[in-house]
């Protein structure tokens, strides 16, 4: 039988019904400024870590918002907490605190999905 390769495509639909928002909600409670991110990418463009390795801080925010905690946990370690991203953020988000909160709370709140 012809191999169409369907099986190697992992499931990429965001299944929002499976989304466990606990970590996100905790973080929004402690750092409400994070609510207003408009995904402009200014932070990623200037990020010191992103200059050296493959790291996209804006995307971390999105992973958090979609409950994709497994990838988030390993990626977030790349941040050097320099705070440069906060200098350009047009929405004045305290990103460093968001990152700290992710690091602190992620292991407790891991979801099994993804």
Partner 1 sequence: MKHIVIIGGGIAGIETASALTDAGHWVTVIEKDTRVGGKLNNWSYLFPDFTPAEKIAESLLEKCREKDFSILPDTEVKAIIRNQDKFNIHTSGNQNLEADAIVLATGYELFDARRKEEYGYKIYDQVVTSADLEQLLRPGESLTVAAGKNPKRIAFVHCVGSRDEKTGNHYCSKVCCITGVKQAIELKKRLPEAEIFCFYMDLRMYGKHFEELYREAQEKYDIQFIRGRLSEASEKIDKSLLIKAEDTLSGRPLKMNVDLLVLLVGMEAGKGTASAAFSCGVNCEESGFLKSMDSLLRSNISQQEGIFLAGSCTAPMSLNDTLLHARSAAIEVNNYLKKSIK
Which residues from 58-97 bind partner 1, rule CB under 8 A? 58-59, 88-92
Among residues 67, 64, 70, which one has the least CA distance to residue 93? 64
| Closer residue to ligand SF4, CB minimum distance, 43 or 64 | 43
State the binding partner of 83 from partner 1, ligand SF4, none, CB within 5 to 8 A by kind. ligand SF4
Neighbour count for residue 80 (Cβ, 10 Å): 12
> In this structure, are residues 27 and 64 in contact, taking their beta carbons and an 8 Å threshold?
yes
| Closer residue to partner 1, CB minimum distance, 25 or 32 | 32
> In this structure, are residues 76 and 55 in contact, taking their beta carbons and an 8 Å threshold?
no
Q: Is 40 in the site for partner 1 (CB under 8 A)?
A: yes
| Closer residue to ligand SF4, CB minimum distance, 44 or 69 | 44
């Amino acid at each position: 039988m012809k191999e169409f390769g369907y099986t190697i495509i992992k499931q990429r639909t965001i299944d929002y019904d499976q989304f466990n928002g606990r970590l996100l909600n905790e973080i929004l409670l402690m750092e409400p400024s994070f609510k207003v991110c408009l995904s402009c990418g200014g932070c990623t463009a200037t990020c010191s870590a992103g200059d050296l390795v493959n790291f996209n801080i804006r995307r971390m925010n999105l992973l958090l918002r979609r409950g994709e905690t497994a990838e988030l946990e390993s990626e977030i370690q790349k941040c050097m907490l320099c705070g440069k991203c906060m200098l350009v953020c047009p929405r004045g988000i305290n990103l460093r605190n968001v990152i700290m909160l992710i690091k602190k709370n992620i292991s407790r709140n891991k979801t099994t999905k993804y």
